Amino acid sequence: MDIVELLKLMVAEGASDLHLKVPNPPVLRINGALIPQENRAPLTAGDLESVLEQVTSLEQRAVFRTEQELDFAYSVPGLARFRVNVLQQRGTLSLAFRMVPFNIPSMDELGLPPICKKLVMMPRGLILVTGPTGSGKSTTLAAMLNYLNENNRRTVITIEDPIEFLYRDNKCFIAQRDLGNDTRSFSNALKHALRHDPEVLVVGELRDLDTISTAIAAAETGHLVLGTLHTIDAAQTVDRIIDIFPHDQQRQIRMQLSQVLEAVLSQVLLPRVGGGRTAAFEILIATSAMRKLIREEKIMEIPSNMELGSHEGMQTMDQALAKLVHNNVVKLEDALAKSSNHVRLNKFLQYSKEDE
């Protein structure tokens, strides 16, 4: 079985993901929908063992046999890079390939909020990009970092699992570290990176207490820190960071977070009218009012304050979804599927009609 043939099909069809599992045929995810390739034979255990041998080294296979989990990057020259996850299920292999283009899309091409250009040029602070798996967080971070690379001279260290987009030094001096090959953990890599004269630190995932604690400390000491979290909105992001700490430390962390946080971008992907997908963004900007809400443990008041902060670049997810529906970019039913409050979304849609 030739995996490169399937990866070429994946790119040709504009698929974001390729799934391989016994006894199904290959499955592509196109515009968010899973599309089985019914014209191809069902996969066998031997097929998947063959694929694993084609895309991994002896060392990687040894890690997989020990851990029964494996994340890595795979590149096909002239085609694309792929983020690959291998796991065991029902005694056989299952592989998932996520396409990572060689060329990093610009912020304008992605339709990122204009304030992202201002945020990534900040001298210090903590910027978080959040959303569910597959919502485009890594692509958003890559576009922001690429903009910085084109417009400012900074030293940058990224810590990724695995490395996805490849950066070429333009104005920035960028070192990329791969979890597993270049470092053993996010938290250790982050601690040691602080001794490497970085001005900007990019953390692929803030997944544990040590990593989050070090990221906050790095932002406190004058670094710009960008990272991702698997949270669905800005308020939940703040709660998640604080709640990961022991109860007796939460008051201190709340104070620190209120001082270093600059923004939270929470995103989801939706089907675009006419084909393709588009992103909707909730945007929290750490104004003095927002910092006070975090400091005083009034997280429940964050969404209502965001609704009123449009002049400062803020918006809730429901406001973002309403704009997309009003501009006929996405269908109402798709927006409702991503909304956490249908009543609020319909209210914003009504306001949009009244403003016409």
| Whether residue 353 has pLDDT greater than 80 | no
Question: Is the same domain home to 117 and 264?
Answer: yes
pLDDT given at position 356: 61
Q: Half-sphere exposure of 1 toward its Cβ, with a 13 Å CA cutoff?
A: 22
User: What is the separation of C-alpha 334 from the centre of its chain, rounded to a whole number of angstroms?
Assistant: 21
The model's pLDDT over 45-67, given as tens digits with 9 standing for 90+, comes to: 999 999 999 999 999 999 999 99
The model's pLDDT over 179-217, given as tens digits with 9 standing for 90+, comes to: 888 998 999 999 999 999 999 999 999 999 999 999 999
- The amino acid sitting at 33 is A
Q: What is the CATH number of the domain that holds 164?
A: 3.40.50.300
- The amino acid sitting at 313 is G
Interhelix angle 234-243/250-260, rounded to 10 degrees, is 140
SS3 track for 137-174: HHHHHHHHHHHHHHHCCCEEEEEECCCCCCCCCCCCEE
pLDDT interval class at 354 (50, 70, 90) = low
Q: What is the token pair recorded at 144?
A: 């922001």
Please answer whether residues 180 and 162 qualify as being in contact, where contact means their C-beta atoms are separated by less than 8 angstroms: yes
The residue from 100, 124, 142 where one domain ends is 100
Query: What's the rounded Cα separation, in Å, for the pair 286 and 262?
Result: 5
pLDDT interval class at 325 (50, 70, 90) = very high
pLDDT interval class at 167 (50, 70, 90) = very high
Question: Is the same domain home to 89 and 207?
Answer: no
Question: Is the same domain home to 145 and 13?
Answer: no
The single residue listed with the structure tokens 């960028």 is 174
Query: What's the rounded Cα separation, in Å, for the pair 184 and 285?
Result: 33
Residue 335 lies in a domain: no
User: What is the separation of C-alpha 214 from the centre of its chain, rounded to a whole number of angstroms?
Assistant: 20
Residue 320 lies in a domain: no
The residue from 100, 127, 150 where one domain ends is 100
**How many domains, the chain?**
2
Cβ–Cβ contacts within 10 Å for residue 353, how many? 8
Pairing of strands 173-178, 200-203: unpaired
pLDDT given at position 108: 95
Question: What pTM did the predictor assign?
Answer: 0.92
Please answer whether residues 180 and 86 qualify as being in contact, where contact means their C-beta atoms are separated by less than 8 angstroms: no
**What share of the chain has pLDDT > 70, as a percent?**
99
Question: Is the same domain home to 201 and 273?
Answer: yes
Q: What is the token pair recorded at 177?
A: 């570290």
Q: Where are the alpha helices (DSSP H) in the chain?
A: 3-12, 45-55, 58-67, 107-110, 115-120, 137-151, 186-193, 209-220, 234-243, 250-260, 288-295, 302-307, 317-326, 332-338, 342-355
Question: Is the same domain home to 70 and 197?
Answer: no
Query: What's the rounded Cα separation, in Å, for the pair 147 and 141?
Result: 10
Residue 327 lies in a domain: no
Question: Is the same domain home to 164 and 65?
Answer: no
Question: Is the same domain home to 92 and 181?
Answer: no
Task: Mean pLDDT check: name the lowest of 247-256, 286-295, 338-347.
Answer: 338-347
| Whether residue 1 has pLDDT greater than 90 | no
Question: Is the same domain home to 61 and 16?
Answer: yes
- CB within 8 Å of 50: residues ≥ 6 apart: 1
Query: What's the rounded Cα separation, in Å, for the pair 51 and 86?
Result: 11
The residue from 100, 117, 148 where one domain ends is 100
Q: What is the token pair recorded at 84?
A: 């690959």
| Whether residue 355 has pLDDT greater than 80 | no
The model's pLDDT over 265-284, given as tens digits with 9 standing for 90+, comes to: 999 999 999 999 999 999 99
Question: Is the same domain home to 57 and 158?
Answer: no
Mean pLDDT of 142-146: 97
Helix (H) or strand (E) holding 201: strand 200-203
Pick from 333, 327, 341: nearest CA to 270 = 333
| Whether residue 138 has pLDDT greater than 70 | yes
In terms of residue numbers, what domain contains 65? 3-100
Q: What is the token pair recorded at 297?
A: 């443990």
pLDDT given at position 352: 75
Question: Is the same domain home to 88 and 177?
Answer: no
pLDDT averaged over every residue in the chain: 95
Strand, coil or helix: what is 184?
coil
Residue 16 lies in a domain: yes
Beta bridge partners of 93: 88
| Whether residue 38 has pLDDT greater than 80 | yes
Question: Is the same domain home to 259 and 301?
Answer: yes
Residue 83 lies in a domain: yes
Residue 337 lies in a domain: no
Residue 150 lies in a domain: yes
Task: Report the residue count for the chain.
Answer: 356
Mean pLDDT of 15-20: 97
Residue 235 lies in a domain: yes
Q: What is the CATH number of the domain that holds 35?
A: 3.30.450.90
pLDDT given at position 153: 97
Question: Is the same domain home to 203 and 232?
Answer: yes
